[in-house]
Every structure is written in structure tokens, then in C-alpha cells.
Amino acid sequence: MTRHLTKLCSVIGIGVMLAITITIGAAPILPGREKIPDELRCLANITSVSTVIDEVVGIKIPNEKLLRQFHRTLKNEGFEINDDQETPRLALQYIAARDPDIPGALGVTIIIAVHQRVDLHRMEETMALPVASIVLATLGKEDQLEELVDHEIERAVQRLKIYVTRASAR
């Protein structure tokens, strides 16, 4: 089960990263303004966020420790953290899974989902929905869980900052 979960998370993470990289990295054929997808465009001008730790799957790190690292990294990248319900909410989730065939090996997947208030015209309602996600995965040693998670949080927040900056430049 854990092996399948690890493979599934890795495949999903790689697929999402490739899709976003191809979408963002593709240069326009003709000069002019590049059209970026709505799920990235909606990240424009985000400077302030609220945070939450979503469900953790696998080996656990205390939520307080995760939040401290998450907040420190967000602040280092220039984001302000608050509890305002109107600001975008970043939901952090990680999956840490062992492979029984490789003793001591650990797969870690970090997911940051960006939730924002959205007007859903079809239902004539405003809802807080996930509008974009950043997924990163790595492999390492089981005794390095905290370092692996910290490093992947830093990479994911840096990627978020790149996307926000790029969307804001449009």
C-alpha cells in the first residue's frame, strides 16, 4: 500500500510539475504578451496569506514545527502572514512514505494548495476553493525526514513566489 502510495504521489507530483513548467516556460512564438493559464493568473498580486496544515499522510512531524518552518519560509520570500479570511489561504500537506523493499528509504511529497474566494456563477455563490497547487517530491533517508520536509517546503514556497511574480507582471 505504501509503495503504491509513494509511486502514485511521485507520478502525480511529476505530472503536475511538468504541466506547470511546460505551461509557464513555453515561450510565445510571436512577440507580445504571453497568455498564462487562469490557475496561475489568479495568483497575481498575492502578498498576504493565511496558512493551515492539511492532513499529513505517513510519518508525522508536529504541526507546530511545520507551521514555524512554513511561516519562516513564507516571510523570507516576502509574504505577510495573517488570519484574515479574505486573504488567500495556503494549505500545506505532506506525504512521507517508506518503501518496504528499500530499508531506510523515504519518499516525501509536499503539496501547497492555494485557496481563494471565488464567485461560482453557475451556483450564484461565493466559495473558498483551491485554485492552484504546487506539488514537489523527493527521495531521501528516513532519518532525514525533517530536513527533507524543510527543504521541500522552501522549494515549494520559492516556486509559489515565482508564479506570483510572473502572474503579477501581466
- Residues 117-128 have pLDDT tens digits of 988 899 999 988
**Residue 72 has what pLDDT?**
97
Binning pLDDT at 50, 70 and 90, where does residue 59 land?
A: confident
State yes or no: pLDDT of 28 exceeds 80.
Answer: no
For residues 58 and 14, the model is more confident at 58
Closest CA to 39 of 164, 147, 140: 164
| 21 Cβ contact partners less than 8 Å away, ≥ 6 residues apart | none
Q: What is the pTM of this model?
A: 0.77
In order of their start, the domains of the chain are 2-26+37-168 (3.30.160)
Task: Among 20-24, 79-83, 112-116, 125-129, name the one with the lowest average pLDDT.
Answer: 20-24
Taking the C-alpha atoms of residue 135 and residue 164, their distance in angstroms, rounded to an integer, is 16
Judging by beta carbons within 10 Å of its beta carbon (0-12, 13-18, 19+), is residue 114 exposed, middle or buried?
Answer: buried
